[in-house]
Homo-oligomer: A and B are copies of this chain.
Amino acid sequence: MRELYELCGASPEVVFSPYCWRVRLALAHKGLDFASRPLRFADKEPLAFSGQQLVPVLRDGETTVHDSLAIFRHLDEHYPEHSLLGGVPGESRLRLIDQYVALDLRPALFRLLVLRILECIDPADRDYFRQSREKALGMSLEAFADRDAGQAQLARALQPLSALLAGQPWLDGAAPGGADYLVGGFFFWAWCLGEQLWPEDSPVGAWFHRLLAFCEERQGPVQRAANS
């Protein structure tokens, strides 16, 4: 029995955390099925068994693992075929790419998505979400959600991805791999919230659609939040 605890919006079918999407894509890569356990922001109690409060948490038989890259490692150790991490330098390079994602891509998308997240989450989660994020940002969500600034940040964050994807179909080369899921999780975040923030007819747009098709072929249709 394999269970993935992940973050959902008001509708339990719409899961949108970028870190949870990394794990969904990694499970698709390994050809492993799982039962989704969607949680709302305030649902901390069901995670108590994991000894911490953040999703994604994977319960795989007797083993419980949290943190997306720790879950990649768990999957490689228990299901070694089709490595996600790609050996010793592969894992370290993935961690460096993750640092660039945290500096560039995540903040750009968060700025563009923050008000949409507020809309899509359960009404009971909204005060918690607003207060915790406004405290971290030092400003109101509305002031932070500057569309022009977000689009400029995103254009910059897409540059390295576009440059690589102009010459090859996947970030990991000829076939999708750990780097595609590590970065791609952030694109599913936007997509599941009903947004598409990157140009469709671009190397990045084409790559995202390949990744979406890869995922839907293995796990069925991806549920998106309805437009308000």
Which of A8-16, A17-25, A54-62, A97-105 is near enough to bind chain B? Answer: A97-105
Min C-beta distance of A84 to chain B, whole Å: 9
The one of B89, B95, B159, B163 that contacts A177, using a Cβ cutoff of 8 Å: B89
Size category, A interface: 20 to 34
Complex: how many Å from CA A159 to CA B103? 8
A206 at the A/B interface (Cβ < 8 Å)? Answer: no
Q: A87, A161, A170: which has the most chain B beta carbons within 10 Å? A: A87
Residue of B nearest to A168 (CB): B92
Report copies per complex. Answer: 2
Complex: how many Å from CA A94 to CA B92? 10
A143 at the A/B interface (Cβ < 8 Å)? Answer: no
Q: A97, A160, A179: which has the most chain B beta carbons within 10 Å? A: A160
List the B side residues contacting A89 at CB < 8 Å.
83, 86, 90, 172-173, 177-179
A156 at the A/B interface (Cβ < 8 Å)? Answer: yes
Is the pair B179, A99 in contact by a Cβ cutoff of 8 Å? no
Complex: how many Å from CA A161 to CA B95? 10
List the B side residues contacting A139 at CB < 8 Å.
none
Min C-beta distance of A120 to chain B, whole Å: 30
Is the pair B90, A97 in contact by a Cβ cutoff of 8 Å? no
A93 at the A/B interface (Cβ < 8 Å)? Answer: yes
Min C-beta distance of A152 to chain B, whole Å: 14
- Chain B proximity mask over A152-187: 1 for CB below 8 Å, otherwise 0: 000010011101100010111110011100000000
Complex: how many Å from CA A131 to CA B77? 56
Complex: how many Å from CA A161 to CA B98? 11
Q: A91, A93, A103, A177: which has the most chain B beta carbons within 10 Å? A: A93
What would 16 A/B residue contacts be, using CB atoms closer than 8 Å? A86-B89, A88-B173, A89-B90, A90-B90, A91-B173, A92-B164, A92-B168, A92-B173, A92-B179, A93-B94, A93-B171, A95-B164, A96-B161, A96-B179, A97-B97, A99-B164
